[in-house]
Amino acid sequence: MFSSRTTGELQPNRLTEEIRRARASGRQVIDLTVTNPTTCGFAYPPALLASLADPAAATYAPQPLGARGARDAVARDYARRGVRVHPDQVVLTASTSEAYSILFKLLCDPAGDSVLVPAPSYPLFEHLTSLDGVSAATYPLEYHGRWMVDFNALDDRWTARVRAVLAVSPNNPTGSILTPDELDRLARWCVERRTALIVDEVFADYPLNGALVPYATRSSGPLTFRLGGLSKSIGLPQVKLGWIAVDGPEPVVAEALQRLELICDTYLSVSTPVQAAAPRLLAEGAVVRDQILARVRGNDLTLRRSAERFPSVEPLRTEAGWSAVLRVPATRTEEELVLELLGRDDVLVHPGYFFNFPREAYVVLSLLPEPDVFAEGVRRLLTKWGHSSLP
């Protein structure tokens, strides 16, 4: 589950074992790593999943890119966020992870091609690229009051075998958003190198302050793939539906869709019931999305107000998403810090190295737990680094 910063090898380690022991012992551990919204006390409408029993699902009529009604619903959901997407350019997948795999198959030759991925970011990419025989090279996000792309480092990572640049906005776990200027610069960078751009937007519905400015793709830009899914947009990870919105120059988009149709027709992985249910799920799931947004905003505010009394702990700027990052005193390794929090204080957080932070010492917290639980976990975490600076 976790990797060692010193060896770079995935391996079972003390933290994994201590987590297993804590849970097996029945201890009441405050889990500030939880990312499953269905276990966080949100009120899901009782009939929300009833649409999965729609009689239309009894007939199997496979369409490689997805049923038209579901693709229309996804296009309407993009419009809700101010993004114009034509249903003909929507491709349905069983998940965002599958979407990445499909795109790696579309864009890359497993014999040497590579993609560029941001760091810090969620560690799934190294597994997904490896499973498709594609190399992954990281480009850094630098923190200077906010996270931003280091374009000089991006230039340094470039080779003629790079087939795509992955941009995660909002990023997990940094919560950073690429500004329109950054995205335009990244798009120009890709056009100049005839490289595709993949924009993962799964957390786009969760701005912590105000509303997000939607990224507008251009027909003169690179071949662009925008990713989303029900897992985050309405908090239903168990209802497997994701999507890819394809944009860019018309002839290139047409060719990409034709090739995507062949790939998707080979697997036909998206179930008929979820496609039939998609319009209702996207419409009625808004009540869950609203609850999640209120929760993460409230917990983020609790964290920042609490941390004001502890000058040795710095919550880094977070613009959107379900996570928060704390820079903490580097008095020992991150793994030792997390083990002590778990063993002494019954609080579980992620170490920064799990997300490929380049140096010590960071911990990552989920903003999803119920407010009272979150506040108590934060209190225990902060008091680890001394007494409050205020009376």
CATH architecture of 14-43+287-383: Alpha-Beta Complex (3.90)
DSSP assignments along 119-172, one per residue: ESS-THHHHHHHHTT-EEEEEEEEESSSEEE-HHHHHHH--TTEEEEEEESS-T
Position 7 scores a pLDDT of: 32
The Cα 327–Cα 173 span in angstroms is: 13
The domain ranges of the chain are: 14-43+287-383, 60-284
Compute the average pLDDT of residues 24-31. Answer: 84
Assess whether pLDDT exceeds 80 at residue 214.
no
For the domain bounded by 60-284, which CATH number is listed?
Answer: 3.40.640.10
- What share of the chain has pLDDT > 70, as a percent? 95
pTM: 0.93
The Cα 330–Cα 361 span in angstroms is: 5
Compute the average pLDDT of residues 293-309. Answer: 97
The closest alpha carbon to 143, from 119, 107, 112, 109, belongs to 119
Assess whether pLDDT exceeds 90 at residue 371.
yes
Q: Each residue of 249-298: pLDDT tens digit?
A: 999 999 999 999 999 999 999 999 999 999 999 999 999 999 999 999 99
Of all helices (H) and strands (E), which one includes residue 258? helix 250-267
Question: For residue 9, what pLDDT band results from cuts at 50, 70 and 90?
Answer: very low
Position 202 scores a pLDDT of: 97
Q: Each residue of 99-140: pLDDT tens digit?
A: 999 999 999 999 899 999 999 999 889 899 999 999 999 999
The Cα 374–Cα 303 span in angstroms is: 9
